[in-house]
Amino acid sequence: MDIIFIEELRAATWIGIYPREKAVAQTVEISLQIGVSTTSAGASDDIRDTVDYAVVVERLRADLAASHFNLLEKLTEHIATFLLENFAAQWVRVSVAKLGMMPGVKRVGVVIERSI
């Protein structure tokens, strides 16, 4: 299996359980590893034979902008399922972090791996 990755993607979504978090969308930082075979694309040199990074980013940002999650765990599961169902991934590793949530802490987050 090969891995296509997207690191430190910033996207806005509604995330949190506290009233201050529900009042405004927050930016989260997402890193993705998408397990797929790149053999066909390596032979053909054709974007149609692989995962198009731009399409992943565009569709994920649109999906998250219209969604609300209470917990990072739910958001991370949502992203993993989204990738597995929409991009023919066999395996994914998804990292999602909230930024600057606590004094003296740069980010807090969750990392999961899922496969079909």
- Global confidence as pTM: 0.94
Q: Which residues are the active-site residues?
A: 98
In this prediction, residues 57-82 reach a mean pLDDT of: 97
Question: pLDDT tens for residues 94-111?
Answer: 999 999 888 999 999 999
Q: Is 88 in contact with 41 (CB distance < 8 Å)? A: no
In this prediction, residues 70-84 reach a mean pLDDT of: 98
Q: Is the pLDDT of residue 115 over 90?
A: yes
Query: In this structure, which long-range contacts are made by residues 105-108, counting pairs with CB atoms below 8 Å and at least 24 apart in sequence?
Result: 107/29, 108/72
Beta bridge partners of 28: 11, 98
pLDDT > 90 fraction of the chain, expressed in percent and rounded: 92
Residue 87 is part of a domain; what is its CATH number?
A: 3.30.1130.10
Structural domain boundaries enclosing 62: 2-115
Please give the angle made by the CA atoms of 108, 73 and 64, to the nearest 5 degrees. 90
Question: pLDDT tens for residues 3-52?
Answer: 999 999 999 999 999 998 889 999 999 999 999 999 999 999 999 999 99
Residue 2: pLDDT band with limits 50, 70, 90: very high
- What's the pLDDT score for residue 60? 98
Q: In the chain, how many domains are there? A: 1
